[in-house]
Amino acid sequence: MTLDQRQTDVLFTIVRCYIQSGLPVGSRTVARKSSLNLSPASIRNIMADLAEENFIEQPHTSAGRIPSTNGFRFYLDSKLDMEILPAEVEEKIKSALVRTGPDLSQTLSQASKLLSSISNQISLVITPSQQNIRWKHIDFIQLRAGLVMSILVMEGGMVQNKIITVDSDITADDLIKFSNYLNEHYKGKTLLQVRANIFSQIKRARKRFNNLYQEALRLARESFEPDNNRQVYVDGTHYLFQDSEFTDLPKMREVFRLLEERSKLLKILDQTLESEGLSILLGQEQDWQELSDYTVISSPYSLKGDNIGLVSIIGPTRMNYSRVIPAVDLTARILSQLFNEIFEHNTIKNMPKT
């Protein structure tokens, strides 16, 4: 369904007014606010067409119109009128992120805080899924007999550690041997590849080798296991209460419930991980009852061209897209940039002493 210039103009005006006020928009208002110089009556004709084609709807006979899901989608797909964030904002974010130092989790947590404060919405930052990242180094540390901590260092400066129980016969010397072996044979492969290889070895090794070897393989397997507790940094939840006059509480509650149910949340967000650049999910378009009336905007950040994590915001469908979209986009870009710089130089310059 295509719209001509005037229809588009009217629709956009309705969307903008509705976003601003949260109230149905009447023909008078559109006539005044749009660049078209038409009388309310003419606007009404156009609006009748738009309603026919399902771009706007009417709460009741004598009310103005509000954009339908369709209408929002059309508006968003032709992302016009995006604000341009001032260069200071970019500088501010960048320097704040650099200042967090080399600790990835702090950088991402800080990114989330910044995003929520500049977008005035709930922000989400998802830690990298480390599946497709090459790893550089592994170490085992014996916490006590039978308990080992594994430390995996990845490209891009990421570190993942895990506590693993092992056979209590295993000594510190054994651990060093294990790690040397792994470092030698698997360096430079992705976690996914390493895991596949170890699995095949485990199959072969069954019954052919001694206990120690089998235990070593198990230790390796667990170390390289996908990180099932991928973190999500959430900030700015209180922004959901802005304009709460227009929101109903049960729906808000569902959002909070969703934010705590990390697995469901990740399932929703992971949809957008593969996509090129920014994506916008309207709750009503998907079949998540949790997010009807809410919209998720996400943009992936990448390392060496591969998307590894996600920056998102969740806000009411009638949020201020012109401000929020550039903010999400910018945050994701800066994170990518930061990652790749760290990776490029493989050393961190001018890092302030914490």
Partner DNA sequence: TGTTAGCACTCTAAGGTAAAGAGTGCTAAT
Partner DNA sequence: ATTAGCACTCTTTACCTTAGAGTGCTAACA
Instruction: By CB under 8 A, name the binding residues for its own copies.
Output: 101-103, 106, 137, 139, 141, 143-147, 149, 151, 153, 157, 159, 161-165, 168, 222, 229, 235-238, 240-241, 244, 249-250, 252-254, 256-257, 259-260, 346-348, 351, 353-354
| Residue 203 Cβ vs its own copies, minimum distance, rounded to whole Å | 18
CA–CA dist 160, 101 (Å, integer): 17
To its own copies, the closest distance from the beta carbon of 320 in angstroms equals: 19
Residues between 33 and 92 that touch DNA (CB under 7 A)? 37-42, 44-45, 47-48, 51, 58, 60-65
CB-nearer residue toward DNA: 22 or 101: 22
How many Cα atoms are found within 13 Å in the side-chain-facing hemisphere of 209? 13
**Gap between the Cα atoms of 272 and 195, Å rounded:** 25
Size of the site for DNA (CB under 7 A): 24
CA distance 285 to 85: 29
Q: Report, in Å, the least distance between residue 106 CB and its own copies.
A: 7
Which one among 11, 13, 16, 24 touches DNA, defined by CB under 7 A?
24
Closest approach of Cβ 193 to its own copies, in Å?
21
Least separation in angstroms between CB 109 and its own copies? 8
Choose the stretch contacting DNA; rule: CB under 7 A; options: 18-26, 231-239, 304-312, 324-332: 18-26
Kindly state the tokens that stand for 115: 């995003």
Which among DNA, its own copies, none contacts residue 28 (Cβ within 5 to 8 A by kind)?
Answer: DNA
Task: Provide the residue type at 102 as one letter.
Answer: P
155 binds, among DNA, its own copies, none (CB under 5 to 8 A by kind): none
**Binding of residue 180 to DNA (CB under 7 A):** no
Residue 24, binding choice from DNA, its own copies, none, Cβ under 5 to 8 Å by partner class: DNA
Cβ proximity to DNA: between 61 and 210 the closer is 61
Interacting partner of 44 out of DNA, its own copies, none (Cβ under 5 to 8 A depending on kind): DNA
Query: 104-119 and 87-99 helices cross at what angle (nearest 10)?
Result: 150
| DSSP codes joined into one string, 39-72 | -HHHHHHHHHHHHHTTSEE-SSTTS-BEE-HHHH
Pair of tokens at residue 333: 């870009």
User: Can you say whether the dihedral through the CA atoms of 170, 171, 175, 181 is positive or negative?
Assistant: negative
What 3-state DSSP class applies to 214? helix
Q: Give residue 145's identity as a one-letter amino acid code.
A: A
Which tokens hold the place of 266? 């990740």
Nearest to 18 by CA among 53, 66, 85: 66
Q: Which two tokens stand for residue 61?
A: 């006979």
- Identity of the residue, 151 or 273, whose beta carbon is nearer to its own copies in the bound complex: 151
CA 299 – CA 279 distance, rounded (Å): 6
Q: How far is the CB of 252 from its own copies (least distance, A)?
A: 7
Question: Could you give the C-alpha distances from 337 to 261, 317, 333, 334, in angstroms and in order?
Answer: 30, 30, 6, 5
Amino acid at the residue 148: V
Measured from the CB atom, the residue of 70 and 119 that comes closer to DNA is: 70
User: Whose Cβ is closer to DNA: residue 65's or residue 195's?
Assistant: 65
Q: Are the CB atoms for 225 and 198 separated by under 8 Å?
A: no
Interface residues with DNA (CB under 7 A) are 24-29, 37-42, 44-45, 47-48, 51, 58, 60-65
